[in-house]
Structure 1
Amino acid sequence: MGEDTEVCVIGAGPAGLALTLMLLRSGARVTLVERATGFDREFRGEILQPGGQAVLASLGVLDAVRTRGACRLDRFQLVDGDRTLLDIDYRRLPEPHDHLLAVPQRHLLVELLAACREHEGFEYLDGHRVSELLRDGDRYTGAVVTGQGKRAITAKVVVGADGRYSKTRALAGIDAGRHDAFDQDVLWFKLFAPGR
């Protein structure tokens, strides 16, 4: 019996969408499964490092992401009390990626998904959750997803790109080796500049 798809990617975040686009560009058939039905939700990690910008430029989506709205940042400082722990000036890097780029993650996801939809062999199942993995001996051969009904997707490869609390990884019995005990906390928030 043939596969429904060559690669089944679980999770349509930046990693899942970028991988899907790379696979589609190489000619693979990809089914992308995402539990959410849209991109209007809370995100983390809305800063693109220079290397990430280079990857997105090579995928042909960086300019469209910038057009949706982005803010260039030339420096990054990490301060603890009166001590500067990190002071990084990105302008020392070669152009055109000599800066950080603050961009709402939904802008990135919308553009990556639009680029994926331009390729044949792409299927997007939003509003679906992985409920089990299919196996043939010691090899995973697909996933069972639930959305509006239950569907088994057979594939040559299954990729879990569904985040730090990955259901796919848990179903595969893979220990993430997470360490949640740190002596520092990280706080992030958004401030809206007056007049913008």
Structure 2
Amino acid sequence: MSTGNTTCCIVGGGPAGIFLGYLLARSGISVTVLEKHADFLRDFRGDTIHPSTMQLLDELGLLEEFLAITDFRADQLWLNFEGQRIAGPTFAHLKTKCKFLGFVPQWNFLNLLSQEASKFDGFDLRMNTRATEVIREDGKVVGVRCESGNREYEIRADLIVAADGRSSTIRKVTDQTVVETGVPIDALWFRMDHRPQDDKGETLGWLRGGHMLVTIPRRTHSQVAMVIRKGCFDQIKAQGIDAFRQTIRKVCPPLADVAVSLKDWDQVKLLTVQINHLERWSENGLLFLGDAAHAMSPMGGVGINLAIQDAVAAANQLVTPLRNGTLNLEDLQAVQARREPAARKTQRLQVRAHAILFGGSTGPDQAFSIPWSIRIAAWLFAPILRRVAGRWIGLGFQPEQIETEIVDG
């Protein structure tokens, strides 16, 4: 078995992994990123890039390149509740350069970041490469074993970063303690031929008759999520695809004419919603980031942006000890100390929102139920809530700034 060496090996080519790899290579650190797939082209991933992330892209000089691949921008989100269009979170008041959400397919975003990162000599992205095991010596993680096609080899590194998502292989093989939070919902993902035409796609949430749809606009179609009660997908399938199409037409009238494009259940993918976190994000030589450290609900579309904030904080903390060869466990623990409060606050907010929206309903025919007390409070405090929600979604609880510098052109 052959062995390669690098300073940092990142397992997972998602937003946290690629962004961290870019920042480290930009700062002159040799970094190898392992992505188990042959490309980034997977449809059911987060598409919403928030003002906090665009602020970082501006700091890196990549904002214009990003905006060029953005399908749609929204400075305010809208809901359609029982046929009535209601103003949702607004971002116009945020103290950022971009006061809007950007919608871009994640594969385009990752391609952009990886292409920019490849301009630095120290960046090595290995597609179709799966990490299968960690290597330990004297109680420290010193590398990973990899598979690529029929080839097996080892990569030794001063630091292994597990950024391989909520189904993290590294999390499993290191027997990490995962704390699960009960979630009452799952989501069914599918695409429609055209996005809703009511307002050029600005209405993202559609709630009617106990059902909820989220429509994400893309240039040629809409990516749609139907929120369902956890474990009810089989019951929904038993009712037949025609009943499913009828529900779509009822909840989101702009999709009525194109719902016929759903021919069978193979076009509908189940996303099992999870909220969980690790008790410890690190051990000697190993750090977990993004969903591998704290899996988020899709609510608010904050997951990708939190993962990127993790990457920025990690780079800020770790570039100097990685460059000097002095990295220790305390450096890794400092990353968790910096980022865990924001992640846990976000999760608690998601859990509370789940309880309000989905806690009182039962069965596949009623995914959500909003108590009248909450409806009245939302109406009374709507202007304030729109701004508060816009800040939470747009910036999060702990926005980061890039403190590392370019040292390799």
Q: 1:177 to 1:80 in 2, by over 3 A?
A: farther
Alignment match, 2:45: 44
State the shift of 1:84 in Å.
Answer: 9.8
Q: 1:189 to 1:57 in 2, by over 3 A?
A: farther
Range that drifts further, 75-84 or 22-31: 75-84
Q: 1:106 to 1:87 in 2, by over 3 A?
A: same
Q: Give me the TM-score of the superposition, normalised by structure 1.
A: 0.87
Does the CA contact (< 8 Å) of 2:22 and 2:123 recur in 1? no
State the shift of 1:82 in Å.
Answer: 8.3
Alignment match, 1:54: 55
Instruction: Tell me, in whole angstroms, the C-alpha distance in 1 between the residues paired with 2:176 and 2:63.
Output: 33
Instruction: Tell me, in whole angstroms, the C-alpha distance in 1 between the residues paired with 2:79 and 2:172.
Output: 34
Does the CA contact (< 8 Å) of 1:46 and 1:105 recur in 2? yes
Instruction: Tell me, in whole angstroms, the C-alpha distance in 1 between the residues paired with 2:136 and 2:87.
Output: 47
Instruction: Tell me, in whole angstroms, the C-alpha distance in 2 between the residues paired with 1:71 and 1:112.
Output: 19
Q: Give me the TM-score of the superposition, normalised by structure 2.
A: 0.44
Does the CA contact (< 8 Å) of 2:76 and 2:87 recur in 1? no
User: Aligned residues, how many?
Assistant: 194
Q: 1:63 to 1:137 in 2, by over 3 A?
A: same
Does the CA contact (< 8 Å) of 2:55 and 2:96 recur in 1? no
Which residues of 2 match residues 1-150 of structure 1 at below 5 A?
4-77=5-78, 87-148=88-149, 149-150=151-152
State the shift of 1:62 in Å.
Answer: 3.0
Range that drifts further, 153-162 or 169-178: 169-178
Does the CA contact (< 8 Å) of 1:11 and 1:163 recur in 2? yes
3-state SS of paired residue (1:177):
strand
Amino acid at match of 2:61: G
Does the CA contact (< 8 Å) of 2:48 and 2:103 recur in 1? yes
Instruction: Tell me, in whole angstroms, the C-alpha distance in 1 between the residues paired with 2:56 and 2:136.
Output: 33
Deviations 1:117-170 (A, max 9, x none): 101122221111111101112211010100130110000000000101100111
Instruction: Tell me, in whole angstroms, the C-alpha distance in 2 between the residues paired with 1:184 and 1:83.
Output: 24
State the shift of 1:78 in Å.
Answer: 5.8
Amino acid at match of 1:5: T
Instruction: Tell me, in whole angstroms, the C-alpha distance in 2 between the residues paired with 1:139 and 1:122.
Output: 24
State the shift of 1:109 in Å.
Answer: 0.5
State the shift of 1:188 in Å.
Answer: 5.6
Deviations 1:90-129 (A, max 9, x none): 1121352211111111110010110111011222211111
Q: 1:176 to 1:77 in 2, by over 3 A?
A: farther
Percent of residue pairs identical: 28
Alignment match, 2:159: 157
Does the CA contact (< 8 Å) of 1:70 and 1:102 recur in 2? yes
Greater percentage in helix: 2
Q: 1:112 to 1:53 in 2, by over 3 A?
A: same
Alignment match, 2:174: 172
3-state SS of paired residue (2:28):
coil
- Structure 2: segments with no counterpart, 5+ residues: 198-218, 221-409
Instruction: Tell me, in whole angstroms, the C-alpha distance in 2 between the residues paired with 1:133 and 1:167.
Output: 10
Does the CA contact (< 8 Å) of 1:31 and 1:122 recur in 2? yes
Larger radius of gyration, structure 1 or 2? 2
Instruction: Tell me, in whole angstroms, the C-alpha distance in 2 between the residues paired with 1:83 and 1:168.
Output: 46
Amino acid at match of 1:167: T
Instruction: Tell me, in whole angstroms, the C-alpha distance in 2 between the residues paired with 1:184 and 1:130.
Output: 31
3-state SS of paired residue (1:97):
coil
Q: 1:130 to 1:3 in 2, by over 3 A?
A: closer
Range that drifts further, 79-88 or 162-171: 79-88
